[in-house]
Chain A
Amino acid sequence: MTVQKVLQVDIEKCVGCHMCEVACSLKNTGKVQPSRSRIKVIGYEKRGSYHNYIPMVCQQCTTPLCMEACPTNAISRDAETGAMVVDDDACVGCRVCNMVCPIGGVSIDPATDVAYKCDLCGGDPECVKYCYYEALEYVPKDKMDSSLKRSKSEKLSELFALMESLR
């Protein structure tokens, strides 16, 4: 059996272009509408001082509180992709999933009034295809750990150069 993949977020690489929101809304609604994107880039900007961005998206929890809390059992895990998916017909729009989610990964679509969230596009997430600097990557579960560690180690590796220069 192939290893399931996860949508990995490396916040330090995000440049705040919102391309993931564009791709997500295009793929899921056929229109460009970031306000209905399943992924959302939160900006921390102060002009003249700093510009930081953090993409927030459902992480498909091991113990999905949304599923546990859902009174109509509208949320379940897709066996193939591992994504938590919403059954639109069963959802009553009570927003309990939204209340219990620790990271705001699920919300109510303002246009349809039922829960909407990242479903990993059925195993082929659109957003990662445009993330040039790879703040978003779709990586096998068993590679996630080493993948992020490698990315974070790049900064530390500059120490080598520094040490070299001081020698």
Chain B
Amino acid sequence: MVYGWSGKTLQVDLSTGKVSTAPWDKDAKRFLGGRGGNAWLFWKHSKAKQGPYDPDAPVIFGSGALAGTGLIGTSRMEVTVVSAAKTESNSLGNVGMGSSWAPELKFAGYDNIVVKGRSEKPVYLYVYNDEVELRDASGVWGKGTFDTETLLREEVDDEDAQVASIGPAGENLVVQATVEHGYRSGTPVGSSVGAKKLKAVVVRGTGAVNVHDPDAILELNRRLVETVKETKKRLGEAIPRSEGKDAYLQGFLVGDAGVVGNYESHAWRDRPDVKKAYEENYLGEYFEKNIGCFGCPFPCQPLFDIPGEGACIWRCYPTYWPWKLWMTDLGAAFKGTRMMSDLGMDNKEVATIVSWLMHLYDMGVVSEKDLDGVPFDKGNPEALWETARKMAYREGYGNALAEGPVAFAKKLGKKATDYLYHNQGLTMRTFEFRAEPGTALGEAISARGNSLRATTYHVVLWDKPARDDYAGVDPKEMEDSYAWSKQMFGTEKAIIATEYEGKPAALIYEMNGAAIADSLGYCVSMIRPGRVGAPGSQFGDTSYQFAAERYTAATGIPADEAALFEAAERVCNIERAIVVRDGRTRTTDTLPEFFFENPVPDGPQQGKRLDRKLFEKMKDEYYTLRGWDPETGLQKEATLKKLDMADVAKELKAAKRLAPARKEV
């Protein structure tokens, strides 16, 4: 009997309508599920340098390995595609999100779905246990994701059905389009789904997930509830996130990240008048309640309902928009979030594009003539709303932007291109790479790019002492933090955001930790690097060891922290294999020149910029620690073999994308 997993992959060909299943057991043990499982299926089903809209390109929906096992906070799903948003490289694109789709797929009897082919007409995939059907989607084509979720539940006559869908942006092949489920989304993957004329995947399951030790699962859940209660006592009422106020007004910032405009300022957001305006525009009165994911009694997604706009969740990510757009009107930013969630597009990409255009507009590089008469004055929310709408429906300048900002920049000329900072076509978001070498390295090296999955964000939190307004490390325990850093990464400096030393090791540790969470479908707030009681988390035991115990209870596979990290190493290696197969090398593992040349203009990190030599040295160390070839950034045969990935090594070798044999020094 398979425990934890369902043991089955659902395969759907939209061109022929053929539906089949394949076993998901051996690979499950290697790559777990969720992000790792999807990456493996992507490796198997995609071709080198495949276009995002190639009918044969796979779209993979996966549930985390622990989804549906009854363990609290393990309900995340993953969508993996050939990225259209990475206009300069394509290759791997993925996104993880919570809510209720992943466990529902497990109850229906599947771990993941591989969709290939392309439908002639708009369809949605309806999975109800063994009944799998492609249904006409003409009734919802053109509709926003909110209506699509509601209408499809009505159509299948089941309010427990879970819907992941694309909006108008995905249908119109806007590269910034997302797949949305219950307001959750993230990095763009939607246009690759839209190209298949696949509007939605609707799942409903009434079956069982077998777990190895039901009593242990209940016991571990009780323990988690207890630790949360204790943490709450210690930290105060931290679980209802007080409407995300912490994120806006307090200590969300790491290493004083949180850039203003198009990397134009930091000091602006600390100006007393700006702070005051923020507080005055604070959305508290419109806060309804937190909503959460299936099987988690600690909901953390604040739902706001603004009269005249409607409801939507609004979490930490959008909180830096107002800064990027020099905006203090949080209601206007909320309107943008909600609008883009409904249109099915990545608010981070769009907001960053708008901040770039505002910068150009401010310098006179572009004018209203280039932008259909929309004024791009700093702080003007119209610019955000209009750009989002025009992109989603491909009107005017939005039509050009829908092909990605790089193409539009080329149209506008050299200066516009110079001021566009991007990673393979994805915009750079909020991190101040110039002051945070670890996160800079992560951004350069991450398989997907643009990634909270490749930062040293949580590691450096251990260097943040608690203040009145910020739940950091107990100042009395700071010494423990540095001791831990030294023990783990060889130096105390590894947890200091602005230092280069020890960062490659810290980054690998955090990247692998993220791979564990994303592959198990584990809530990213419930698993954190470092000792128990990670700053910024209210979930008590956030250790990897606790995750391993929970994994064992569900699957029956004996595991400790090291075993999970080995699986994570495999996940990071299969993702590396994919992007390397598609053209990545050491040379392309980099960041825009801007971050090396232009110092931070103001604020606490004023004057900092990336040091090219130290950056390249970090790369050497990173590749070496990973067992990759520092000269080329390609993987070594021995490394892959050691990870039980000889099959991958063989294919890379055949494609001449394996590191050349060198004498080991």
Q: Which residues of A contact B (CB under 8 A)?
A: 15-19, 22-23, 25-27, 29-36, 42-43, 45-51, 110, 126, 129-133
Contacts and interface: CB of A to CB of B under 8 A. Distances in A.
Contact of A23 (B68, B221, B305, B338): B221
B294 A18 contact: yes
Contacts, number: 114
B186 interface: no
Contacts of B299: 15-17
Given A31-B210, A32-B209, A17 B295 contact: yes
A93 to B, nearest CB: 18
Interface residues of B, number: 50
21 contacts: A15-B291, A15-B299, A16-B299, A17-B295, A19-B72, A19-B295, A23-B221, A26-B70, A30-B214, A31-B211, A32-B68, A32-B107, A35-B207, A43-B159, A43-B160, A47-B147, A130-B297, A131-B297, A132-B225, A132-B228, A132-B239
Contact of A47 (B150, B218, B239): B150
A109 to B, nearest CB: 12
Nearest to A51: B291
Contact of B297 (A17, A25, A32, A34): A17
Contacts of A46: 150
B69 A16 contact: no
Contacts of A31: 208-211, 214
A64 B222 CA distance: 33
A27 B219 CA distance: 11
B293 interface: yes
Contacts of B298: 132
B594 to A, nearest CB: 38
Contacts of A32: 68-70, 107, 208-209, 211
A33 B225 contact: no
B290 interface: yes
B159 A35 contact: no
Contacts of B342: 48
A15 B209 contact: no
A39 B109 CA distance: 22
A84 B251 CA distance: 52
A17 B294 contact: yes
B241 interface: no
B63 to A, nearest CB: 13
Nearest to A28: B214
Given A32-B70, A130-B222, A49 B310 contact: yes
Contacts of B338: 48
Given A15-B292, A132-B298, A34 B211 contact: no
B206 interface: yes
A97 B566 CA distance: 53
Interface of B: 68-70, 72, 100, 107, 144-147, 149-150, 159-160, 182-183, 205-211, 214, 217-218, 221-222, 225, 228-229, 239, 289-299, 303, 305, 310-312, 338, 342
Contacts of B228: 132
Nearest to A133: B297
Identify the 4 closest CB pairs spanning chains A and B, nearest first: A48-B146, A33-B208, A132-B297, A35-B206
Contacts of A25: 70, 208
B107 A35 contact: yes
Most buried by A among B146, B159, B160, B228: B160
A129 B72 CA distance: 12
A85 B323 CA distance: 60
A41 B554 CA distance: 24
Given A32-B68, A51-B291, 6 more contacts: A18-B294, A23-B218, A26-B70, A27-B214, A47-B145, A47-B183
Nearest to B160: A43
Given A26-B214, A129-B225, A17 B292 contact: yes
B297 A33 contact: no
Contacts of A26: 70, 211, 214, 217-218
A20 B295 CA distance: 8
A103 B547 CA distance: 39
B568 to A, nearest CB: 25
Nearest to B338: A48
Contacts of A132: 225, 228-229, 239, 297-298
Contacts of A36: 208
Contacts of A110: 206
A126 to B, nearest CB: 7
A129 B218 CA distance: 9
B297 A15 contact: yes
A19 B296 contact: yes
Contacts of A48: 144, 146-147, 310-312, 338, 342
Most buried by A among B144, B294, B305, B312: B294
Contacts of A29: 208
Nearest to A131: B297
A51 B150 contact: no
Contact of B70 (A22, A35, A49): A22
Contacts of A17: 292-297, 299
Nearest to B100: A18
A36 to B, nearest CB: 8
A75 B65 CA distance: 40
A64 B114 CA distance: 50
A23 B220 CA distance: 12
A129 B145 CA distance: 35
B589 to A, nearest CB: 39
